[in-house]
C-alpha cells in the first residue's frame, strides 16, 4: 500500500474509560496517560482519523476534572494546521444529529488536523429527558464527531435505521456504520424482529456500484455468550460488512478473526486501562492501525507502553504440597511467596515499558477445605509496593469438579464476569411474582432503574414517566379526533329533537338551563300545581295568564319524584359525557295538600314581577309563611340564578296577543353554568 493518496489510515481503539479511579492517589492518571499515548500514536503514524469504539468516559456524568483533562488532550493533538486528506460525501445532517450537522474539520472557525470519530458505550450512553451524554459536550465543542446515536423512544422493540458515514479518499471508498450501545436484551429482540434494524446502503452514483464500498461497522455490545439473550451473535449482522470493530469487551483480541460463513472479520482491541482485575485484563494492551485501499486492508497492532503492569494468578490451596490446612501460617507464607515473585517480575524494565510503575496484583485463591484470610490485613505489608494493596486476594470456592474427558475445557471467554453476577432485572421480578404491569411498561422501568443506579441519573424515572404520558396523550388525542362531534352539530341535533317534541321545547330549554337545581325545580312544580288547582277548584282567584301558560305547557323536574301521576318521558342522548337533557311532561293530579299550598304559591308568583332588573333575578326570596315547604323560594345552588321569574319572562316574550306585555322590557335568558351544552336559540 505504497500509494498514500488512495490509502486511508485509521487508528482504532476502544474502552478508554477516562476518569476511572480518579480518586485513587496511585491510579488516578492511568486512563488519561493511556489516552494521551493513543493520540500521540495517531500523530506519529500520520493517520487520517481516530476511530473509537465506545466508553470514552467511565461514567455517564464525568467530573469537571475528567472533562477538563479530556478536552486538554483533544485540543493538544486534534487542533492543528495539518491538512485533512479525505472527504465525507454522505448527508452529514443525518450522520451527526447535532445543532451544526457537519463534520468538525469543515467548520471554518476551527483548525482540526486530526478528526476523531466515536460512538457511545454503555458507560457514557445518552440519558435523561434531553437524551444527552458527555460525548455530546465534546461534540458541541467541535472536538469529536459523534455518530451512531439512535433515538429509540418509547417502549416495545422499536425500530432503527443505521446510516453510514461515507468517506472518500482518492479511489478508496469507505462506508462507516456506527451503532452506539443499546441494551443487549432489546437489541437482541430487534435483530430477531423483521425490519426492526434497517441497514442503509450507499447509492450508486458516478459509475460506482455498491460493491465498491469497503463497509466497516463499529458497535459496543456484549459478545460473551454466557446468556444468549444478553449478548449479540455475530450471525445477526449483515453479510455485506467487511470489517467489524467490537467494543465493550476488555480482553485484547486485536488480530482480526474471520467469522465462518459470514465473510467479515472482527477485531476486539479491548480496553486501554484495566478496570476489572480478571484474567482477560492481564493480557498486553494494544491499538490497531488499519490501512485500507480499495477493498483490501492491512492491520498492524501497536502495543501501549504507558499501561500499568497487571499480573494475575490462580491458586488452589488443596493442590499445593507445602500448605497445611491446619496451619494458617503455611498458607500465608505460600501466598506471600507468590506475590513477591509477581512483584519482582513486574519490576524488571522492558523495551515496551521503559518507566516502571507500581504493578497491579490479583491472586484468585480457591480455599476449599481451608479458612479464609483477611485480604486487607494481608495487603498492608505491600503498601508502596503494589498499586492495589487492599484487594490483592480474592477468595472463592470451586463447585463440583468439571468433567473434562471428552468434553474439553471451557474457554476463558465463557467465564462469568464479576459485574454480571447477582443482578436481577425488573422483568425477572415481575415474572417471579406473577405481577401485571398496567401503567408503565416493564422494559422502560428496567432501563430507568439501570440509569438511576448505575449512572446516577436522578431524573431517570421522571423521564420514563413523562415519555409514557406523552405517548398516552398522543394516542388518546388521535382516537378522540376520529369521533369528535362539533358543538354546532350538537346544537342542530338538540334543535331537531326539540322540534319533534312540539310545544314542549320551551320547557325543555328551561330544563336544560337549570335541570340540576332541585329548589328551582320545586318552584316550577309548585307553580304548575297552583295553576291546576285554580283551574279545577272554585273559590280561588283566577291565576294570571303566565301561570296558565306554564300549566298548559307543563314543567320539568328530575326523575326522582313520587306520586300516582302517569308520566311520559323523552330522552335526548348526546355523544359527549354529561351532556344529556330530559324532556318530561306530566299531568299533575290535584291532591289534598294542594289547597294548603296554593296561598303560598300565589305569593311566590306575585313576588316575581317582570319589572325586576336582570341583576335581581337570582336574588334570594323572602321566606313564605308556613315554614319550610316545597314551594319555598331559595337561592340557586352553586351560583345558579334560574328561578320562576326568568321562566315567566321567557314565556311572556313570546306572547304576541297580550297588549300589556308589549311595553315590558324583555329579560335576558338565565346564565348557563358548567359544561352541560345548553341550547342556543336562533
In sequence order, which residues have a C-beta less than 8 Å from that of residue 8 and are 6 or more positions away?
A: 48, 86, 167, 169, 172, 174, 291, 292, 293
Q: Which CA distances in Å does 431 have to 188, 234, 291, 427?
A: 20, 29, 50, 6
Q: Which CA distances in Å does 556 have to 12, 55, 252, 479, 583?
A: 85, 75, 87, 37, 7
Based on its alpha-carbon atoms, the radius of gyration of the chain, rounded to whole angstroms, reads 42
Sheet containing 360-366: order of strands: 310-316, 360-366, 393-396
H or E element, residue 255: strand 253-258
Three-state DSSP at 138 gives: helix
Sheet containing 8-13: order of strands: 145-146, 116-118, 49-52, 8-13, 286-293, 296-303
Contact 601, 526 (CB under 8 A): yes
Report the distance separating Cα 164 and Cα 650, nearest Å.
75
Which residue among the candidates 120, 123, 311, 450 is catalytic per the annotation?
123
What is the phi-psi region of residue 20: left when phi exceeds 0, alpha when psi lies from -120 to 50, beta otherwise? beta
How many helices (H) and strands (E) would you count in the chain? 16, 20
Contact 408, 366 (CB under 8 A): no
Alpha-carbon torsion angle 146, 147, 152, 157, nearest 10: -140
Contact 615, 592 (CB under 8 A): no
All three cell numbers of 240: 455485506
Q: Is the dihedral of CA 472, 475, 481, 483 positive or negative?
A: negative
Strand partners, 298: 291
**Phi, psi angles (nearest 5°) of residue 256:** -60, 135
Q: Is the dihedral of CA 344, 349, 352, 356 positive or negative?
A: positive
Active site residue 123: yes
Report the distance separating Cα 311 and Cα 283, nearest Å.
9
Contact 267, 12 (CB under 8 A): yes
Report the distance separating Cα 135 and Cα 53, nearest Å.
12
Q: What angle do CA 214, 220, 223 make, to 5 degrees?
A: 100
Report the distance separating Cα 148 and Cα 163, nearest Å.
8
Residues with catalytic roles: 123
Amino acid at each position: 500500500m505504497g500509494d498514500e493518496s488512495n490509502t486511508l489510515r485509521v487508528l482504532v481503539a476502544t474502552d478508554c474509560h477516562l476518569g476511572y479511579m480518579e480518586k485513587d492517589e496511585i491510579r488516578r492518571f492511568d486512563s488519561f496517560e493511556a489516552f494521551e499515548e493513543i493520540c500521540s500514536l495517531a500523530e506519529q503514524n500520520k493517520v487520517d482519523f481516530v476511530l473509537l469504539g465506545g466508553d470514552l468516559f467511565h461514567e455517564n456524568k464525568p467530573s469537571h476534572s475528567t472533562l477538563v483533562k479530556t478536552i486538554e488532550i483533544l485540543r493538544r493533538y486534534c487542533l492543528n494546521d495539518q491538512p485533512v486528506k479525505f472527504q465525507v460525501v454522505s448527508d452529514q445532517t443525518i450522520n451527526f444529529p447535532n445543532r451544526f450537522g457537519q463534520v468538525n474539520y469543515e467548520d471554518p472557525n476551527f483548525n482540526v488536523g486530526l478528526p476523531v470519530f466515536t460512538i457511545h458505550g454503555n458507560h457514557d450512553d445518552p440519558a435523561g429527558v434531553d437524551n444527552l451524554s458527555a460525548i455530546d459536550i465534546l461534540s458541541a465543542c467541535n472536538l469529536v464527531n459523534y455518530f451512531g446515536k439512535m433515538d429509540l423512544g418509547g417502549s416495545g422493540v422499536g425500530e432503527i435505521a443505521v446510516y453510514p458515514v461515507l468517506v472518500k479518499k482518492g479511489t478508496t471508498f469507505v462506508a462507516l456504520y456506527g451503532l452506539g450501545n443499546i441494551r443487549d436484551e432489546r437489541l437482541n429482540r430487534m435483530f430477531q424482529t423483521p425490519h426492526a434494524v434497517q441497514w442503509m446502503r450507499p447509492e450508486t452514483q458516478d459509475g460506482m456500484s455498491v460493491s465498491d464500498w469497503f463497509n466497516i461497522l463499529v458497535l459496543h455490545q456484549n459478545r460473551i455468550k454466557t446468556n444468549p439473550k444478553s449478548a449479540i451473535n455475530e450471525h445477526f449482522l449483515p453479510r455485506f460488512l467487511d470489517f467489524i470493530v467490537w467494543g465493550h469487551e476488555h480482553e485484547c483480541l486485536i488480530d482480526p478473526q474471520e467469522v465462518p460463513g459470514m465473510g467479515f472479520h472482527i477485531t476486539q482491541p479491548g480496553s486501554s486501562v484495566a478496570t476489572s482485575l480478571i484474567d482477560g485484563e492481564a493480557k498486553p494492551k494494544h491499538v490497531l492501525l488499519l490501512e485500507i485501499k480499495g477493498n483490501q486492508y492491512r492491520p498492524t497492532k501497536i502495543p501501549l507502553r504507558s499501561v500499568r503492569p497487571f499480573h494475575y494468578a490462580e491458586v488452589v490451596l488443596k493442590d499445593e504440597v507445602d500448605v497445611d490446612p491446619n496451619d494458617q501460617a503455611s498458607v500465608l507464607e505460600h501466598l506471600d511467596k507468590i506475590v513477591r515473585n509477581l512483584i519482582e517480575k513486574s519490576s524488571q524494565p522492558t523495551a515496551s515499558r521503559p518507566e516502571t510503575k507500581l504493578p497491579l496484583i490479583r491472586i484468585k485463591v480457591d480455599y476449599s477445605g481451608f479458612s479464609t484470610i483477611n485480604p486487607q490485613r494481608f495487603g498492608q505489608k505491600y503498601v508502596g509496593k503494589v498499586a492495589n494493596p487492599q484487594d490483592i486476594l480474592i477468595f472463592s470456592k470451586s463447585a463440583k469438579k468439571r468433567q473434562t474427558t471428552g468434553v474439553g475445557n471451557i474457554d476463558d471467554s465463557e467465564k462469568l464476569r464479576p459485574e454480571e453476577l447477582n443482578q436481577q432485572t425488573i422483568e425477572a421480578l415481575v415474572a417471579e411474582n406473577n405481577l401485571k404491569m398496567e401503567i408503565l411498561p416493564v422494559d422502560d422501568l428496567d432501563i430507568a432503574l439501570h440509569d438511576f443506579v448505575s449512572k446516577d441519573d436522578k431524573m431517570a424515572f421522571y423521564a420514563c414517566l413523562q415519555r409514557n404520558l406523552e405517548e398516552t396523550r398522543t394516542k388518546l388525542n388521535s382516537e378522540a379526533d376520529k369521533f369528535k362531534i362539533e358543538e354546532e352539530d350538537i346544537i342542530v341535533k338538540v334543535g331537531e329533537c326539540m322540534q319533534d317534541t312540539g310545544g314542549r321545547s320551551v320547557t325543555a330549554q328551561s330544563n336544560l338551563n337549570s335541570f340540576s337545581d332541585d329548589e328551582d325545580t320545586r318552584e316550577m312544580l309548585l307553580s304548575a300545581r297552583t295553576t291546576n288547582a285554580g283551574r279545577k277548584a272554585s273559590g280561588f282567584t283566577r291565576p294570571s295568564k303566565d301561570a296558565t301558560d306554564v300549566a298548559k305547557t307543563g314543567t320539568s323536574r328530575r326523575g326522582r319524584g313520587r306520586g300516582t301521576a302517569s308520566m311520559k318521558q323523552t330522552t335526548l342522548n348526546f355523544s359527549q359525557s354529561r351532556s344529556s337533557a330530559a324532556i318530561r311532561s306530566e299531568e299533575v293530579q290535584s291532591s289534598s295538600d294542594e289547597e294548603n299550598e296554593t296561598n303560598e304559591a300565589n305569593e311566590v308568583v306575585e313576588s316575581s314581577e317582570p319589572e325586576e332588573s336582570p341583576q335581581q333575578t337570582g336574588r334570594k326570596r323572602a321566606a313564605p309563611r308556613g315554614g319550610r315547604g316545597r314551594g319555598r323560594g331559595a337561592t340557586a345552588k352553586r351560583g345558579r340564578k334560574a328561578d320562576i321569574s326568568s321562566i315567566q319572562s321567557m314565556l311572556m316574550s313570546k306572547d304576541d296577543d297580550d297588549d300589556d306585555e308589549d311595553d315590558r322590557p324583555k329579560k335576558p335568558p338565565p346564565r348557563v353554568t358548567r359544561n352541560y351544552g345548553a341550547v342556543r336559540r336562533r
